[in-house]
Amino acid sequence: MAREPVLIVDDNPQNLKLAKVILVAQGYEVKTAIDAEDALRILESFAPHLILMDLQLPRMDGLELTRRLKADPARREITIIALTAYAMKGDDAKAFAAGCDGYLSKPIDIDELPRVVADHLARRASREARR
């Protein structure tokens, strides 16, 4: 699904750059945000099909941002995949409870990331086709 829009939200510049390089190489249109507030500003003019969401963000964490996006009728259909470097038992359950559609632990796996993104976007397309 070339040129599908993706937003990456991560306060770590290296993670942002790596994920962006991987996804741009796969043909996605990628924008990045360094925190929740930056993401909300970007979302005013960018409609991603998928968000890679770091859970450990300054000020408003990724779980709270996910809850807000899933509560917004205009944004609830965006697929959100949680990303975290602090993968502890139960973190995936917290992410899913907040509304995340998927969960990946860091460090970013350069083979797994594009596969997971493609799988989630294919599921999203399939849901939309059934409507």
Residue 13 has what pLDDT? 95
Whether omega before 58 lies within 30 degrees of 0, making that bond cis, reads no
Domain regions of the chain by residue span: 5-130
Residue 1 has what pLDDT? 47
Q: What dotted CATH number matches 5-130? A: 3.40.50.2300
Q: How confident is the model over 3-51, as pLDDT tens digits?
A: 899 999 999 999 999 999 999 999 999 999 999 999 999 999 999 999 9
What is this structure's pTM?
0.94
**Cα-based distances in Å from 73 to 5, 45, 62, 77:** 19, 16, 18, 8
CA dihedral sign, ordered 96, 83, 45, 68: positive
